[in-house]
Structure 1
Amino acid sequence: MTSVSTPIAGRLPLWAAVGVAVGCGVLMATQSRVNGEFGRRLGDGYTAAALSFTVGLVIVVVIVALTPSARHGVRQAFAEVRAGRLPGWMLLGGVGGAVFVLTQSLASALVGVSLFTIAFIGGQTMSGLVVDRIGFGPGGRRYLTVRRVLGAGIALAVVVWSVAAHIDPEVPVWLLLLPFGAGVVQSVQQAANGRVAAAAGSAVSSTLFNFVAGASVLVLVALVHALLVGGFPASLPALVSADWWLYLGGPLGVTFIFGLATAVRVTGVLLLGLCSISGQLVGSIAIDLIAPGQGHGVDWTTPIAAALVVVAVLVVSLPSRGRP
């Protein structure tokens, strides 16, 4: 698969792209805490996820409406699809974001941010290698060098060990499988968003497509759930109250999706995933220490897992002189 030739102006250096990816990981962990608590308060994770993504969509629509370059980017992306240089399905990358936000709202508050993040990392690490090797990302095909495979192997081994240490008979297995599956589709979403951003010449335009697709899916899912279960929540937390932070999931999503779409062209999908993983682990540990959910804390295995994943990031990011 060939990469789109239209570049985004101002390519980041590798060290800056790595920093952006790590910061986005911290924001992803924060969003997991916010959306998980929002779903718990409502007693309806489906509605919470739809509201979170819709708030993000409104923000992005306003930004695009006020930014001429972003509006041009939207037109450019459609032109690239019509010309056959960009697969049309990549405009639907936001479906992966919808899966991620939905799993946050359903599982994060029940299993804890740290354990949710670890399960999510497992799926993301495994799919990152495959996505890079196939060449879905805007940087084209990236070969499986010894260091890249070793770094991913370290991260995956850490995930297996950490999940095994946290197995709890009271936590249903499907709650761990949900974030794992979200991690699998996350790498595809990041690659698709990066390709759309490159085609549009604007990461903001890519973010708009992401939120249109994701919000549409989540609103439809919430409607179906309401029809089958018997309605929506009777009330929502007041925006002007101590619970205002429950509505931050959307703005956080806008920020890290834009950041990841910008950084992926430089890092590739696998390195981007491992860098964001490091940020997610550090952020999730801090959240579970400072503001843990009900019945969730941090034990001695989690900081060790975070440190080992950072080692994996360093292994992958070191320049390789050998042949693939």
Structure 2
Amino acid sequence: MTTDRRSALLVAAACAATVVAGLGVAAQHRVNGELGQVIDDGFTAALISFSSGLVLLLVATAASPRARAAFRAIRPLLASGELRWWMLLGGFGGAFLVLGQSLVASILGVAIFTVATVTGQTAMGLWIDATGFAGSRRAPVTTQRLLGTLLTLAAVVVAVAPEIGGRVPVAALLLPLLAGLGVGAQAAVNGRVRTATGSPIAATTINFIIGTTALAVATGVHLLIAGLPDRLPSDPALYIGGALGAGFIAIQTITVARIGVLILGLCLVMGQLVGALVLDLVLPIGVATTASTAIGAALTLVGVLIAAIPSRRRDRPRRASQAGA
């Protein structure tokens, strides 16, 4: 197998894994949205979700000598400057996403919550790939990538526009929009931590430690004001949000180094929208899905393919120049 063919297969596998991660994100939107609705407390629901994921990751870390060694390496990496302290704060993005799920996903529905998140993810992914933020693999903003991104944004408009100002309050879209920006940045810094430590488990666990800490502080303040929720649900399915989060964040920390933040974001978008469409049809919550959501998902798929497929014309000169060097 040639090097180019092997590289193309690895990129395809990374894209497919990231789409699966996107399906997990949509499922987490649904689970955490219902948990927040049932207990009528989005802050507590978010903390339950994130902390349960942290418990699973701490167990995995304890069982992995490589992950434990990676944790011990964090301090020397910070001291040497290979990692900056702010690169460990990716968990803030995840925490804000989970909080948004618990607070407004039950109002917006999974599909509309997802497309609002997508807007922030796509914009952040384009900026990060263009600037190489946090040591990410830089990728120039070519016409092909820009077209794919614009199609994805058009999908967002198509999917959400019919509901704006009606059943969907504009203010409720702000949380998932900001969460999308945070998720895009989270992928970049988590990927950098994974590269430096050599352990996706360690990078994901650090993400959950930071996110759980942030949510614990926010929830503590909230509970002092609002009081404890009346009850917790008995349905075990409502407590799997943390496990879903641990899974899709671990996938992102591995695939981002291969495909870059923009393509990672677009593949996540595709998985999220397709998953959201299915979930809103099978297990609806909040605003019911419409034909516009399906059209938006189709446009997203086209945008992902345009942005993700390498441009042969662009690659040939690069290989030629490398051969002559």
TM-score strictly above 0.5? yes
Alpha-carbon deviations, 1:155-212, whole Å to 9, x = none? 1122123221221434321211110110011110000110000011010000010000
Matched, 1:246 2:252: no
Paired residues of 1:139 and 1:266 also in contact (CA < 8 A): no
Instruction: Return the match for 1:300 from 284, 291, 294.
Output: 291
Q: Which residue of 1 aligns with 2:257?
A: 265
Instruction: Return the match for 2:24 from 24, 27, 41.
Output: 27
Instruction: Return the match for 1:275 from 260, 267, 271.
Output: 267
Matched, 1:221 2:218: yes
C-alpha distance in 2 between matches for 1:109 and 1:78: 41
Paired residues of 2:128 and 2:136 also in contact (CA < 8 A): no
**103-112 or 149-158, which deviates more:** 149-158
User: 1:271 Cα deviation (Å)?
Assistant: 0.2
Q: Which residue of 2 aligns with 1:120?
A: 117
Alpha-carbon deviations, 1:24-60, whole Å to 9, x = none? 0000000000000000001000000011100011110
| SS of match in other structure, 1:140 | coil
Amino acid at match of 1:128: G
User: 1:88 Cα deviation (Å)?
Assistant: 1.2
| SS of match in other structure, 1:186 | helix
Amino acid at match of 2:72: R
Correspondences of 1:32-181 after superposition (within 5 Å)? 32-136=29-133, 138-181=135-178
- Unaligned 5+ residue runs, structure 1? 1-11
Paired residues of 2:184 and 2:261 also in contact (CA < 8 A): yes
**What's the % identity of the aligned pairs?**
44
User: 1:138 Cα deviation (Å)?
Assistant: 5.0
Paired residues of 1:137 and 1:264 also in contact (CA < 8 A): no
Paired residues of 1:98 and 1:215 also in contact (CA < 8 A): yes
Paired residues of 2:95 and 2:211 also in contact (CA < 8 A): yes
- Unaligned 5+ residue runs, structure 2? 1-8, 319-325
The structure whose residues are more often helix, as a share, is 2
C-alpha distance in 1 between matches for 2:135 and 2:278: 33
User: 1:76 Cα deviation (Å)?
Assistant: 2.2
Amino acid at match of 1:279: G
User: 1:139 Cα deviation (Å)?
Assistant: 4.2
- What TM-score does the superposition give when structure 2 sets the normalisation length? 0.91
- What TM-score does the superposition give when structure 1 sets the normalisation length? 0.92
C-alpha distance in 2 between matches for 1:264 and 1:137: 12
RMSD of aligned residue pairs (Cα, Å): 1.6
Paired residues of 2:280 and 2:289 also in contact (CA < 8 A): yes
Alpha-carbon deviations, 1:122-164, whole Å to 9, x = none? 1111111111111125543221111111111111122123221
**77-86 or 49-58, which deviates more:** 77-86
Matched, 1:235 2:235: no
Matched positions, count: 308
Paired residues of 2:203 and 2:253 also in contact (CA < 8 A): yes
